[in-house]
Amino acid sequence: MDFRSDNVAGAAPEILAAVIAANVGAVTSYGGDPLTLQLQAKVAALFETEVDVFPVVTGTAANALALALLTPPYGAIYSHADAHPAGDECGAPEFYSGGAKVVPLPGADGRIAAATLAQAIAAAEPGTVHHVQPASVTLTQATEAGTVYRPEQIAALAAVAHANGLGVHMDGARFANAVAFLGCAPADITWRAGVDALTFGATKGGALAAEAVVLFRRERAAELGFRRKRAGHLLSKMRFVSAQLDAYVTGGLWLRLAGHANALARRLGEGLAGVPGVTFRFPVEANEVFPEMPEAMIAGLARAGFRFHRWGGPGSRTLRLVVAFDGREADVDALVAAARRLA
């Protein structure tokens, strides 16, 4: 009954099976294998446009590579203050970009508002040589608050960004959860809305370790290949990563798994909503629930064997409950029941 993160889960059987199936015979290394080659077309079909796809093994790497492509060393990267590039990657964007500055922005429910971005860019006085130059914005979809940017919100942000010469990156560690929630086409919240580069996450969604940088603006794709190699993220036996991504996007597996997690999170949210003393920090949209509870209830849940993180540091009474792709209804119901008992 582990609600700490979608990272505590293992891998989906279909994805593991694909890894096993990929272990046949000798193939060209470093991404010259058939699985990697065909992945380009599969992802292009998924997004209904030409793309360049660069598989890697962590979201941090995918984010940092994409941001380094969009941001010169003297650039500013705008990020929600709670988003991973701002505070949970130990400075990866700074490292990969050669010392750019990540500027944290506030925003309700984990989202940046277009007006906030516009204001921040203006405050940076672009062109003034004393200040880092606004270069990119990164949007987390679904957000760290478990909410989901709507297509028009993304379009508004991208419009501000592009009008000011910034590139738009989307950190899609939980991209599947966002698409499953919105019921839209993947294109609707990416390139059609103005996203230039996407971290297409699969690890949280059921892979062992597989993410991909997906470039919609392709003119600098070659550069990403060199940056990936130089970062040690070009795997020699790439087939084993590509196999995961292939299985993930095949037959709608990714949306099935994400839809399942979302549904259980909704069930968890609705269940807790009925518990006296429980309120919610953020609306439940993707696969995370942020209930605020009395300390006694929190302690009781912990004693009962439920595992979770507090949101906002040790003292906080807000929990972050994450339902993974393989979450079980019984666990969700058990938590709700326990909370009710403790109320």
Q: Is 10 in the site for a copy of itself (CB under 8 A)?
A: yes
The residue range among 87-95, 250-258, 273-281, 335-343 that interacts with a copy of itself, by the rule CB under 8 A, is 87-95
Residue type, 188: D
Q: Is 163 in the site for a copy of itself (CB under 8 A)?
A: no
Of the pair 192, 227, the CB lying nearest a copy of itself is at 227
Of the pair 74, 280, the CB lying nearest a copy of itself is at 74
Q: Which of 30, 50, 165, 305 binds a copy of itself (CB under 8 A)?
A: 30
Beta bridge partner(s), residue 215: 52, 197
User: Residue 206 CB, nearest distance to a copy of itself (Å)?
Assistant: 10
Q: Which of 42, 44, 99, 107 binds a copy of itself (CB under 8 A)?
A: 99
Q: How far apart are CA 49 and CA 203, in angstroms?
A: 24
Q: In the stretch 221-260, what mask flags binding to a copy of itself with x, by CB under 8 A?
A: -xx-xxxxxxxxxxxxx-xxx-------------------
Q: Is 340 in the site for a copy of itself (CB under 8 A)?
A: no
Q: In the stretch 102-141, what mask flags binding to a copy of itself with x, by CB under 8 A?
A: x--------------------x-x-x-xxxxx--------
User: Residue 198 CB, nearest distance to a copy of itself (Å)?
Assistant: 16
Q: Is 73 in the site for a copy of itself (CB under 8 A)?
A: yes
Q: How many residues contact a copy of itself, by CB under 8 A?
A: 80
Scanning the structure block, which residue is given the tokens 């079980």? 328
Q: Which of 18, 43, 53, 57 binds a copy of itself (CB under 8 A)?
A: 57
Of the pair 27, 184, the CB lying nearest a copy of itself is at 27
Of the pair 72, 300, the CB lying nearest a copy of itself is at 72
For a copy of itself, the binding residues in 179-218 under the rule CB under 8 A are 203-204, 208-209
